[in-house]
Amino acid sequence: MKAVLRERVARHVAALIEAGALRPGQRVLSVRELARQLSVSTATVVDAFSLLEARGLVEARARSGHYVRSEAPERPRAMRARLDSVPVSGDRMRGLFRSMRDRSIVPFGASSVSPGLLPTERLGHLAGLVARSSAAIGASYDPLPGVATLRAHVARRATRHGCATRPEDVIVTVGAIEAIGLCLRAVARAGDTVAVESPTYFGVLALLAELGLQAVEIPSDSADGMKLDALAIAFERHDLKACVAVPNFSNPCGARMPDDAKEKLASMLGQRRVALIETDVYGDLPHDDDRPRPVKAFDRDGWVMHCSSFSKTLAPGYRVGWVVPGRFYDRVEELKFVHTVASPTITQMAVAAFLDSGGYERHLRKLRRALSSQVGAVQDAVARYFPRGTRVSRPRGGFLLWIQLPDRCVSAIALQRAALERGISIAPGPMFSARGSFQRFLRLSCGHPWSEAAERAIETLGKLAGGDS
Amino acid sequence: MKAVLRERVARHVAALIEAGALRPGQRVLSVRELARQLSVSTATVVDAFSLLEARGLVEARARSGHYVRSEAPERPRAMRARLDSVPVSGDRMRGLFRSMRDRSIVPFGASSVSPGLLPTERLGHLAGLVARSSAAIGASYDPLPGVATLRAHVARRATRHGCATRPEDVIVTVGAIEAIGLCLRAVARAGDTVAVESPTYFGVLALLAELGLQAVEIPSDSADGMKLDALAIAFERHDLKACVAVPNFSNPCGARMPDDAKEKLASMLGQRRVALIETDVYGDLPHDDDRPRPVKAFDRDGWVMHCSSFSKTLAPGYRVGWVVPGRFYDRVEELKFVHTVASPTITQMAVAAFLDSGGYERHLRKLRRALSSQVGAVQDAVARYFPRGTRVSRPRGGFLLWIQLPDRCVSAIALQRAALERGISIAPGPMFSARGSFQRFLRLSCGHPWSEAAERAIETLGKLAGGDS
């Protein structure tokens, strides 16, 4: 509880700095004033200032309080725009996947949340009830496009997030990844070109490789996401068939695209009659409980295909995802039938029962607190142990950190290899680029509770990154 | 029980005729002799003879007993070999799928077994136990390649059917259809050509269309399956990347390929270093309890990719399938990860628990009896109500009938349309061909218990087929 409060205070101040309300060199409110304003103890504020110091955001000046550092720690750089179209090679992904999947003691590699943070017991109980409640469950192919009660919940939540959605707009899939694959198939054929964020989720790149698609990498910033001016130029140069993005707390760099950019993106694509394949699996995990709208909320004519799942918030092993494919509904439904016929019934019904029970929002609030504090802890440890000059993203949601090492450091691939030998998994930067950029970047997944072992692992990574072995 | 016995006697005699042990014109044993030999009542034998008469296999001659008809009813004709390579159009499939999926009162369309014949209550109970037994289930992505206990059961059963298989040879999939899709992707790219049976399961054709593959249709006979001499010629003419087949109780024509042909097929493909994608979802459903070996049993060097599922025998809605991909293991495992990451855990564990409990063999024996009797009932009704000259397959397993109408009849597409208006679904022949052959063929699925309504439906179909409306 204490850690949660401390983190909340730290984030409050960080947000003021972020927004420019507090400028470099300016004095931050005193401990006492802040404690009063936020209704917390002064001890909590003192703790929060230590965090902010560790994160390099403020510095203490003797007898006069805390000041915003004139050199705030820098975010990882976005890549230089090249905007040529490149084939995506499955080969690079291949080796990287294998090492990602290795069992490791300290799991900073895969983007998954610790089972301890998920309501698995309650879900299991509900799955049990569901499985026994009706003999007919599972006895026939689930009628497309999925279990009706689940689709109703998904539609209701989407509508609450600004996307007017009816249950009949939703198609249930085997996780978000099947949804993305179906969308890509619906709008592009082998040899076609699509725009992707750079860096982008490697699962998308692996799909592009399998489908024989070319990628144009659009530079994306770890604060605001895809650079739309670069996307506009890419449209001039290429016959793009789709744009693939994770606008809310992107993977790997954690960006949250601002609403005005989302609106612009939706209109750019609508005007050009090109699909946006939007993935929103992290959208339910804002650290400040301010659930961002998806780009789908700004979609006028159905050009946004919205993909998501419960894999990051409830149960990855249930494999319950969905897509709201807009104007491509018929084609996606058909493709779902051709590729996997239907999704399993029990898991859909168990998730629907969980949503029925009304505990999802409460669970999300708890989960967000935990993830926010875990992300903060990893940020702090990286600030302490990684080589000077290391840049770290400052995501406001999700649980992924994107880290840029200074040029003098070892390559991320070498770091990954050395780390694995010590039982630590990470995701190296080149996995997130079609052309293998981001040689000195890495993604750390902070889905697991902070621990002494985690701290030692970050220390080890820091040393290895600096070239100590 | 009485119906089961009658059917068993009828099949015994039919098998003797089939095998040539009883020749056209020859007298069948007397009612009394047969009753004694098979330890059944004479009334049962009399009933069985009525069935055999209805099926056109025997004829009664006044005061001298039953004789094998000199003109045994003919099986549907195999198509003429053309062996050119044709692109597979998704368009034709599309419209047909939609009508197939329409809710109908009398379901002769989809290849699925009546829920009442499946152990869904027991499975649901086990799924409930499994879901509650361990909080961890579903809390993480199921580790590839699937739940270990399920893979062990699959391997043990495969080994019993002549395919030496280790658990680590098995990858769990979302039904057999995902398995077939992964296999096709592993061995062929857009523009490549593969050999398929003709007629072949439309799901395979839909996948070929989606993947941009060309098909060479190899004529297949409703008794012995794919004609291997035609396949040999196709190999001379085309650079085939794979051969796709359902050697045990094929869909739609119900053929069971003899063992010597299976051995030859395995060796033809091994010599040419080309993959056989074998689907065996009906293999567990021989009417005579004689479980045929898959072609995989004759595979020496891993060129056979064996796909199957529990969708026809346990629970289609659980979506538990698998593939034993032989020498393509690594590639298929990777593709599974890229396309759906993993399969849901609970359903795999529930099926494994069912297999643990040892009731699967007993369930299969019961299911085979039911399907055999349902197939027989539909055959009889077709013989009674369909236009003279109609040919019907005589499958020895599974639950599908392949029917050829005389040339004077309406087209199967027209028949499908008219039947749907009357609440009856069927699968028209052109669905089973890349080039839309089999215009006057249809598939009737006999997965549902025989009933008065079913009989009336067959009568209606017969009238519609003859042009009455």
Q: Quick one: average pLDDT of A170-193?
A: 96
Q: Please report the pLDDT score of residue B1 as a whole number.
A: 61
B225/A379 Cα distance (integer angstroms) = 64
A53/A39 Cα distance (integer angstroms) = 22
Query: Quick check: B174 and B347 in contact, CB under 8 A?
Result: no
Tell me the nearest-neighbour CA distance from B61 into chain A, angstroms. Answer: 47
A375/A386 Cα distance (integer angstroms) = 16
Q: Please report the pLDDT score of residue B59 as a whole number.
A: 81
The β-bridge relationship of strands A427-428 and A424-425 is unpaired
B316/B119 Cα distance (integer angstroms) = 12
Which positions in chain B touch A189 (Cβ < 8 Å)? 190, 212
Cis peptide before A199 (omega within 30 of 0): yes
Q: Please report the pLDDT score of residue B131 as a whole number.
A: 84
Check CB contact under 8 Å for B338 and A206.
yes
pLDDT digits (tens, 9 = 90+) for A263-286: 999 999 999 999 999 999 999 999
Instruction: Tally Cβ neighbours within 10 Å of residue A37.
Output: 12
Q: Using the 8-state DSSP alphabet, how is residue A153 labeled? A: H
How high does pLDDT run on average in chain A?
90
SS3 content of chain B, % helix, strand, coil (to 5): 45, 15, 35
Q: Please report the pLDDT score of residue B13 as a whole number.
A: 87
Tallying the residues shown for chain B, one arrives at 469
Buried (b) or exposed (e) across A446-462, using 16+ Cβ within 10 A? bbbebeeebbebbebbb
Residue A140 burial (10 A CB sphere; 0-12, 13-18, 19+): buried
Q: Please report the pLDDT score of residue A87 as a whole number.
A: 80
Token pair for B81: 């070999």
The predicted model scores a pTM of 0.87
Token pair for A460: 């080890």
Query: Quick check: A123 and A323 in contact, CB under 8 A?
Result: no
- Is 80 exceeded by the pLDDT of residue A456? yes
Q: Please report the pLDDT score of residue B137 as a whole number.
A: 75
B155/B162 Cα distance (integer angstroms) = 11
pLDDT digits (tens, 9 = 90+) for A284-315: 999 989 999 999 999 999 999 999 999 999 99
Q: Please report the pLDDT score of residue A243 as a whole number.
A: 98
Which positions in chain A touch B205 (Cβ < 8 Å)? none
Q: Please report the pLDDT score of residue A82 as a whole number.
A: 79
Residue A82 burial (10 A CB sphere; 0-12, 13-18, 19+): middle
pLDDT digits (tens, 9 = 90+) for A151-172: 999 999 999 999 999 999 999 9
Check CB contact under 8 Å for B132 and A139.
no
Q: Please report the pLDDT score of residue A71 as a whole number.
A: 64
B405/A308 Cα distance (integer angstroms) = 48
A224-to-A253, A257, B364 alpha-carbon distances in Å: 10, 4, 58
Name which of B137, B172, B202 to mutate to probe chain A: the one with the most chain A Cβ atoms within 10 A of its Cβ. B137
* Helices A31-38 & A42-54 angle (0-180, nearest 10): 110
Per DSSP (E only), the strands in B275-399 are 275-279, 304-309, 320-324, 391-392
B304/B277 Cα distance (integer angstroms) = 6
Q: Quick one: average pLDDT of A188-201?
A: 95
Taking phi first (over 0 means left), then psi (-120 to 50 degrees means alpha), and beta for anything else, what does residue B287 get? alpha
Q: Which residue stretches of chain B have pLDDT < 70?
A: 1, 70-73, 90-104, 135-136, 142-143, 469
Query: Quick check: B416 and B461 in contact, CB under 8 A?
Result: no
Residues 6+ apart with CB under 8 A from A340: A174, A178, B174, B175, B177, B178, B319, B340
A213-to-A437, B50, B185, B239, B338 alpha-carbon distances in Å: 18, 62, 15, 25, 15
pLDDT digits (tens, 9 = 90+) for B268-320: 999 999 999 999 999 999 998 999 999 999 999 999 999 999 999 999 999 99
Token pair for B125: 């109970």
What's the distance, Cα to Cα, between the start and end of chain B in Å?
Answer: 38
Check CB contact under 8 Å for A138 and B120.
yes
More confident residue, A368 or B58: A368
Which positions in chain B touch A354 (Cβ < 8 Å)? none
- Among residues B322, B62, B116, B283, the alpha carbon closest in space to that of A140 is found at B116
- Among residues B274, B308, B275, the alpha carbon closest in space to that of B177 is found at B308
Q: Please report the pLDDT score of residue B293 as a whole number.
A: 97
Name which of A89, A103, A118, A174 to mutate to probe chain B: the one with the most chain B Cβ atoms within 10 A of its Cβ. A174
- Among residues B373, B370, B383, B371, the alpha carbon closest in space to that of B458 is found at B383
Write phi, then psi, for B208 (nearest 5 degrees). -60, -45
Residue B393 burial (10 A CB sphere; 0-12, 13-18, 19+): buried
More confident residue, A135 or B141: B141
A457/A431 Cα distance (integer angstroms) = 21
Q: Quick one: average pLDDT of A345-356?
A: 94
pLDDT digits (tens, 9 = 90+) for A434-449: 988 999 999 999 999 9
Q: Quick one: average pLDDT of A217-238?
A: 95
Which positions in chain B touch A120 (Cβ < 8 Å)? 135-139
Q: Please report the pLDDT score of residue B222 as a whole number.
A: 93
Which positions in chain A touch B128 (Cβ < 8 Å)? 127-129, 131-132
Query: Quick check: B319 and B342 in contact, CB under 8 A?
Result: no
Query: Quick check: B392 and B403 in contact, CB under 8 A?
Result: yes
Q: Using the 8-state DSSP alphabet, how is residue A221 labeled? A: E
Check CB contact under 8 Å for B340 and A120.
no
Residue of B nearest to A138 (CA): B317
B156/A216 Cα distance (integer angstroms) = 48
Check CB contact under 8 Å for B190 and A190.
yes
Check the CA dihedral B250-B255-B259-B264 and report its sign.
Answer: negative
Q: Write the single-letter amino acid at A408.
A: R
Q: Quick one: average pLDDT of A98-119?
A: 78
